[in-house]
Each structure stands twice: as C-alpha cells, then as structure tokens.
C-alpha cells in the first residue's frame, strides 16, 4: 500500500512540475502538434504519405500502423477508460488556459499516447526511417498530455504500454492466428 501512495505522490509532483517547467511558447508548440494528432489526423496523414511515396514498404507500414492505432484506441478509449474513472489533474495546478480545453472522460489511460506509440511502434519495423520520423511527434504528444493538464504521467505511461502491446499484437496477429490454428 505504501508503494502505491508513493507512486501517486510522485505522479502528482511530476504533473505539477511539468505544468510550470515548460515555457508558454513551448507549450503552444506542443499543443499545435497535439491538435494535429486529435482524432488521429496526424497518423492518418502520415499513413497516407507513406502509402503514396513509400511504395510497397510504405503501404505495409501504413496499414500496420493504422491497424495498431485502431487496436490501441479500442483498448484505451473503448475499454480502459470505461473501467477506470480517474479524474483529470486539478485545474488549479496549471497556470495556463489549455487546461480548460480537456476532455471530461477518465484520465486513465492516455488514448492520444496509446495511438501515437502504437502507430510509431508498428511502422518502425516495416520502415525504420518513417518510424524515426513518427517518433518525434509521438513524443511531443505524450509530453503535451501532461503539460496541458489532460493527464498524469502514469496515464501517459499506461497509454504507451497499450500502444506497444497493440503494435506487437498487430504485427504478430497473422502469425499467432496461424499458429493457434495449426495446434487446434
């Protein structure tokens, strides 16, 4: 029980520090990237660019990335947020008005982070250069979710874990299905 209390205290402390440590202009830049990721627009755009210019490798990366993103969003937003009714960080912790533009849903986990990490982690093995390019906005989205007051760091960490698991599952789904069918 003590470990959970300490983790919760650290989560709150990191959230407060993030709210005040990031300069206002940097916060606005982070918000611009996050806004482009809203409703997965950024990742759909990246997938379209990969499919258009990347040939077979780009199409494979795009399809795998969008598949992982879908699994991550269903898991984080469709399942986990329904089970965990965690309130968002308190508004008074944040010295900026971005906190007024956050959703009313559960804070846990970060669906934005889950989608960003899932897409990036699924794209990277198929097309490493595109994966590296996607990693930058994925990291920005993750940091912004805490800085803006939408999430605690543990929400973002859980979202990242869901994203990684979704990417792994998506990349290995066919192999797993065939293997299970062979042993049935």
Tell me the pLDDT of the chain (184 aa) as tens digits. Answer: 787 788 888 888 888 888 777 777 777 777 777 776 777 889 999 999 999 999 999 999 999 999 999 999 999 999 999 999 899 998 888 877 766 677 788 999 999 999 999 999 999 999 999 999 999 999 999 988 888 888 999 999 999 999 999 999 999 987 777 777 766 5
Burial class (CB in 10 A: 0-12, 13-18, 19+), 36: middle
Helices (H), 22-152: 24-37, 41-53, 55-73, 81-83, 111-126, 128-147
Buried b (16+ CB within 10 A) or exposed e, 96-124: bebbeebeeebbbbbbbbbbbbbbbbbbb
Residue 88's SS3 state is coil
Residue 123's nearest CA partner among 60, 45, 41 is 60
């Amino acid at each position: 029980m003590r470990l959970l209390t300490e983790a919760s205290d650290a989560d709150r402390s990191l959230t407060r520090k993030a709210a005040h440590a990031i300069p206002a202009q940097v916060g606005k830049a982070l918000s611009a990237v996050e806004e482009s990721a809203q409703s997965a627009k950024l990742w759909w755009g990246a997938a379209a660019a990969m499919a258009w210019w990347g040939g077979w490798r780009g199409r494979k990366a795009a399809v795998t990335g969008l598949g992982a993103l879908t699994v991550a969003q269903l898991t984080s937003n469709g399942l986990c947020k329904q089970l965990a009714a965690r309130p968002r960080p308190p508004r008074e912790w944040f010295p900026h008005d971005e906190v007024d533009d956050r959703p009313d849903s559960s804070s846990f986990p970060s669906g934005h982070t889950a989608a960003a990490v899932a897409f990036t982690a699924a794209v990277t093995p198929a097309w490493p250069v595109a994966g590296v390019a996607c990693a930058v906005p994925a990291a920005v989205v993750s940091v912004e979710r805490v800085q803006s007051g939408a999430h605690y760091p543990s929400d973002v960490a859980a979202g990242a874990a869901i994203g990684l698991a979704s990417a792994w599952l998506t990349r290995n789904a066919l192999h797993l299905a065939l293997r299970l069918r062979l042993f049935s």
